[in-house]
Amino acid sequence: MQFYVVYIREAHAIDSAAPMGGGAAPIVEDPLHLAERKKVARTCMRAIELEELDALVDDVTDEAARAYGGWPDRLVLIDVNGQVAYQSKPGPWGFDPDELEQAILLESGL
């Protein structure tokens, strides 16, 4: 089973409606091009210590975020047939990593 992080539009870019950053949180601008978004994704993945996971980066038209209701963040499990097997409530408060773990175990037959 493979796991990926899908990086979508940064919710707290300094030029966004809810700017944040500083200290341990990176200060980034909302990218205008895919190459810029990939760079921001690497920065943010490193900051939250997820760089050991492969990251897929949503395009700047936010196609994946719109398709899966990803903003501000969400846990989604896609099965081997490309179907949504689990989708959390919007995070960070609405999702439960233990629920995702149970869905993964169920999907993998463990």
The predicted structure's pLDDT at residue 61: 95
- Domain ranges for the chain: 1-68, 73-110
Q: Contact 7/63 with Cβ under 8 angstroms?
A: no
- State the DSSP string of 48-84: TT-TTSEEEE--TT-HHHHHHT-SS---EEE-TTS-E
The predicted structure's pLDDT at residue 23: 80
The predicted structure's pLDDT at residue 71: 74
| Vertex 11 angle, CA 6 and 14, to 5° | 130
**Tens-digit pLDDT string for the chain (110 aa):** 778 888 988 888 899 888 888 887 889 999 999 999 999 999 988 888 888 888 899 999 999 989 888 777 788 888 888 888 898 888 778 878 888 889 989 988 87
The predicted structure's pLDDT at residue 29: 92
